[in-house]
Amino acid sequence: MRPCRRFEQALIVLAEGGEAPEAAAHLDQCEGCTRRLAEYRHLLGEGGIARVTQNAPAEWIARAAAIFPEARRAAVLRHSLSQVGARLRDTDTLQIAYEVDGVVLRVQYARLGTGWQITGRVPDLSWTVQHRGASVPLDPEGGFQIDVRETADTGFDLVLPSGRVAIPGVAEALGEPV
């Protein structure tokens, strides 16, 4: 028997020791969910994920943190569409201003056929731009250009001396569906 999808999250809550009365009552009737709950409890209990991560040597944790630094997210300050009440689908160009470590970064988005061209200028040449894990070339003034095929691929990262900052994709920044 397979577990019921609607109880999946509640089973995790139960496995972690939380309360989910509806799911707990459902367990009396569903062999699949009962089995899944036992699997979750095993993963979280002895010999499972929780034990392995709690007992990991400190140097392994430090090394993993250095390899995969947590990215902060840039704050959206304003965008050019808000002034005219337009939406992303209605425009071919727009500008979004982001706040990054106290600096305003203006990024231009221009529709290019079915894709987008993203341009901007980093305020300091110690900053680098990465898109999909690859470095984006900067001109001598810190200007950059990224060409993408889809709106969903318009996010990128800035790597600063203070750490990595994620610039959200244009639709996410505007609060619109992709």
Q: For every one of its 178 residues, what pLDDT tens digit does the chain have, with 9 covering 90 and above? A: 556 778 888 888 888 788 888 989 999 899 888 988 888 887 776 555 544 455 667 777 677 666 665 667 787 776 665 554 555 566 778 888 999 888 999 999 998 888 889 999 999 999 999 999 899 999 999 999 999 998 888 999 999 988 889 898 888 877 765 5
Whole-prediction pTM: 0.57
Q: Quick check: 127 and 144 in contact, CB under 8 A?
A: no
* b/e sequence 139-151, b meaning 16+ C-beta within 10 Å: eeebebebebeeb
Give the contacts of 65 (CB within 8 A, at least 6 positions apart): none
Note the pLDDT of residue 84.
Answer: 47
